[in-house]
Amino acid sequence: MTTETRWIHWSLRILAVVLALAAGYAVAGLVGGAIPTNRDWRPPPRGIRIFVESNGVHTGIIVPKVAAGVDWRGFARPGDLRDPRYAAFDHLAIGWGEKAFFLETPTWADVKLRTVVASATGSDAVLLHVEHLAAPVAGGDVRAVMLSEGEYRRLAGYIAATIRPGGRAYPGYAGYDAFYDARGHYSGVATCNAWTGDALRFAGVRVGWWTPFPATVMWWF
């Protein structure tokens, strides 16, 4: 066997292993997302309305700024925004993710392979992305979810525990958003979508056991 033939042989074997791992990850994610937790949960007839949103890659949770004794205005401050006027809106969209990916990819055209690979292999540098917005209209990639006051406070507690004490704020992509230092470890297992599922699960909502993909979050609502 020539050197060139050996190289082709090993390259094909490596490619086969990579494809097998990718397929296994996809299957595991779909199966994990299909296993329900909090099976007996049902939305209450009245309570606090939140929203779960997706842009096709990333999911987040939209909450009222003030509800059930929870006030986010001390965290998401007008001075953190490029245009503080947006702080007059009454809701926040909150998502969690890897710092470099968030800050270096304001548009999908800015996505770089090295950033994706670095994020997937693991990072302790994570942020919360917070957008100020008016109450959305449910439909399409925005789903309304009604929570009891107790469930909402548990959800808010989970999100608040993600905030890094003494962390800094970073400018957002536009006038209405900002990033904040957060806690956690991002990886192919602990993805931004898994964080959304974890937060909802902690609140007591019926959602998948492991939700690494947007679909594994959104199909529950």
Q: Domain locations in the chain? A: 35-218
For the question of whether the overall pTM of this predicted structure is more than 0.95, the answer is no
Please say whether the beta carbons of 49 and 145 come within 8 A.
Answer: yes
Say what the pLDDT of residue 27 is.
75
- Identify the H or E element spanning 171: strand 169-171
pLDDT per residue as tens digits for the range 33-89: 999 999 999 999 999 999 999 999 899 999 999 999 999 999 999 999 999 999 999
pLDDT at 3 over 90: no
Can you tell me the mean pLDDT for 153-172?
Answer: 97
Mean pLDDT of the region 129-135: 97
- H-helix segments, 54-147: 99-104, 113-121
Lowest mean per-residue pLDDT among 35-39, 92-96, 116-120:
116-120
Coil, helix or strand for 172?
coil
pLDDT of residue 124: 93
CB 61 within 8 A of CB 148: no
Question: Is a pLDDT exceeding 90 seen at residue 25?
Answer: no
The pLDDT of residue 156 is: 98
State both tokens at 108. 């999908």
- What is the band of 106 on the pLDDT scale with cuts at 50, 70, 90? low
Q: Which of 89, 177, 53, 81 is nearest to 127 (CA)?
A: 177
More confident residue, 72 or 188: 72
